[in-house]
Amino acid sequence: MPPARRPFLSNKPHRNRQFQPKAPVKVKEPERVASIYDSIQDGNEYGSIVSLLPRDGLDLFDDFVKGLSVIEGLRGRPCLGYVANVVKNPAGSGIDATDDLPFLEMVSKVPAGVAEVDFYLVTNGGSAQQVSRFVNALRQRFEKVHFLLPSFCMSAGTLFALSGDSIWMSARACLGPIDPQVPSKDGRFVPAQALLLLVKELQQQGDKAIAAGQGVPWSAVRIIDSMDKKELGDAITASQYSMMLATQFLLNYKFKTWTHHLKAGAPVTPDEKQATAEFVADALASHDRWKAHGHSIAREVLWQEVRLLIDHPGPDLEKAMIKLWALCYYLFDKTAGLKAMVSQQYRYARNAAQPKAATS
């Protein structure tokens, strides 16, 4: 007979093993530094500061302005910043009407005589109507506006960037589809294009059945009957509005200096500009193409598939854009911040409302 195996678990003492209580783990106190921005290390931007704390009395706006100053030194013009909390994406962080007054104030504070500015932008989107007001304010004041995108610039933010004379995207940045979202009956926001695609598919099912001498599928009829007609109307007009703005912005600003084709060198006609602007707007608004409103579109895809020319920052500008975004990421990760608008002459931040402490 084989020898009996020792059970895996046994209440017999282990002769050759001594068990001693572990010493308590010592938690290292976070290091406090005079500048979060100056502590950022190239290639490990956020990892190098995530465990740091600012010293008492440090104004993090000073660090933000320091980052803008580096970009301004490289670009030779003022840089305005609008950054929103895409880290936690809390309610209230999107572009909306509450941004109107601080945005106008920030623009008005730029010194007289400045005709060209950079705009450092990070946002998950928001109101296309408010973006239109932003663009009007900038264009009434400046001849040229260039967008610098270090990270997410989605939805209405993409519309905003399309109004630039140029769009500079870091290797980590992305734009997003501009298909608008409309509120449903239960209060949720759904992509307008998704609703329109569903209606189109149901119509095709009905047409196919009728052509075959059959009745319209009962399920298609029930779905159409259950859909909110106002919701469908909003989806149609919202989609048209987004594509209209995108087309106008491209024609009026980004395509303004597009005079010759890059490869052939032939002159660009007004009809070609119009057709290209409509193609870009339609491509970015297509829910059928991207499948999700939050889909990230890289700069290579924008050029190769959407035919939207994107400028690539050089090494120094790329580093400066990423370094400033690491600081912003730190701010949004560590605080209740919703968004900030910052320039050399202006500082504005909005924080999420904190719940009141319970009283006895």
pLDDT tens figures, 92-107: 999 999 999 999 999 9
Give CA–CA dist 69/58, Å, rounded.
Answer: 18
Instruction: Inform me whether the pLDDT recorded for 181 exceeds 50.
Output: yes
Q: What is the dotted CATH code of the domain comprising 37-176+296-351?
A: 3.90.226
Give CA–CA dist 344/279, Å, rounded.
Answer: 38
Distances (CA, A) of 89 to 83, 153, 192, 269, 275: 12, 13, 21, 42, 36
Give CA–CA dist 324/331, Å, rounded.
Answer: 11
pLDDT at 227: 63
pLDDT at 287: 85
Instruction: Inform me whether the pLDDT recorded for 301 exceeds 80.
Output: yes
Give CA–CA dist 138/349, Å, rounded.
Answer: 20
3 state DSSP class of 348:
strand
Give CA–CA dist 278/240, Å, rounded.
Answer: 11
pLDDT at 115: 98
pLDDT at 8: 38
Give CA–CA dist 120/2, Å, rounded.
Answer: 76
Average the pLDDT over each of 170-184, 254-268, 324-338 and give the range with the smallest value.
170-184
Average pLDDT, rounded, for the chain? 88
pLDDT at 360: 45
What band does 11 get if pLDDT is binned at 50, 70 and 90?
very low
What band does 76 get if pLDDT is binned at 50, 70 and 90?
very high
Give CA–CA dist 281/170, Å, rounded.
Answer: 22
Give CA–CA dist 68/62, Å, rounded.
Answer: 10
Nearest to 28 by CA among 52, 47, 10, 6: 52
Average pLDDT over residues 324-331: 98
Nearest to 45 by CA among 300, 333, 348, 311: 333
Q: Spell out the domain ranges in the chain.
A: 37-176+296-351, 180-288
- Which pairing describes strands 144-149 and 166-169: parallel, antiparallel, or unpaired? parallel
Length of the chain: 360
pLDDT digits (tens, 9 = 90+) for 212-269: 888 878 776 676 666 666 666 666 788 899 999 999 999 999 999 999 998 888 999 9
Structure tokens at 269: 């006609």
Strand partners, 58: none
CA angle 112, 114, 119 (to 5 degrees): 120
Average pLDDT over residues 317-339: 97
Nearest to 170 by CA among 327, 312, 323: 312
Average pLDDT over residues 85-93: 96
Give CA–CA dist 197/185, Å, rounded.
Answer: 18
Pick 278 or 8 by higher pLDDT.
278
Strand partners, 144: 116
Average pLDDT over residues 292-315: 96
pLDDT at 69: 98
Residue 116 burial by Cβ neighbours in a 10 Å radius (0-12, 13-18, 19+): middle
Instruction: Inform me whether the pLDDT recorded for 60 exceeds 60.
Output: yes
Cβ proximity of 268 and 261 under 8 Å: yes
pLDDT digits (tens, 9 = 90+) for 106-147: 999 999 999 999 999 999 999 999 999 999 999 999 999 999
DSSP-H helix ranges across the chain:
60-75, 100-108, 128-141, 156-161, 192-211, 218-226, 229-249, 270-284, 287-290, 299-304, 315-334
Average pLDDT over residues 317-345: 97
Average pLDDT over residues 195-199: 70
Residue at token pair 């600003």: 253
pLDDT at 217: 81
Average the pLDDT over each of 59-73, 222-236, 303-317 and give the range with the smallest value.
222-236
Instruction: Inform me whether the pLDDT recorded for 12 exceeds 60.
Output: no
pLDDT at 208: 87
- Output the pTM of the full model: 0.85
